[in-house]
Amino acid sequence: MRNVVPRLIACLAISVLPAMSAAPAPAPLAVNVTNTEADPVQTQDVDNPAFQPFQKQEQLAFVIGVTDRLVNIPVPAGKRLVIEFVSFQCLLPIGQNPTNNSIRLNNAVTHFFLTPLQGAASSSFNVFMCSTPTRLYCDPGSSVQVFAGRNTGESAATVNVSISGHYVNVP
């Protein structure tokens, strides 16, 4: 008798569950949205990074006697720049080394990029390179400051910098 009661309860539960789950779904309700022409309803992904791509390449030429170079890349008002990839290529005379390959954002935060030796580009120049994904943010109306440096200014040299990412609209 003890075994009969639990089995009976289990059978009742199994027979009731399909009836409970078979209840009809509520009918969909119409939704009305009212906005003015000045504030329309957005009907697409307006902040998709693919809509506002950013790419910039700068060549920083070092003349004899110059050890540091800087370039400013302005960020438009109403946009935040999201930097997603950075690369540095330093073509320095043999015996010279990169000292300060960095990006400064919002005139406040500096990010440094390690640029190891890759080998000789010729009998008189070495190549140092960095190529890295990243995630950096630069505020509207400010600028991205790209720095490159070397330990001595005895000969001419070149540093190529590439930055890519996208803009995001901000109020």
Q: Where are the domains of the chain?
A: 49-169
Write the pLDDT tens digit of every residue in 135-155.
Answer: 999 999 999 999 999 999 999
Model pTM score: 0.71
Helix (H, G, I), strand (E, B), or coil: what is residue 21? helix
CA within 13 Å, CB half, 164: 10
User: Does 2.60.120 match the CATH number of domain 49-169?
Assistant: yes
Write the pLDDT tens digit of every residue in 101-120.
Answer: 999 998 889 999 999 999 99
> Among all chains, which residue has been given the structure tokens 């995001």?
168
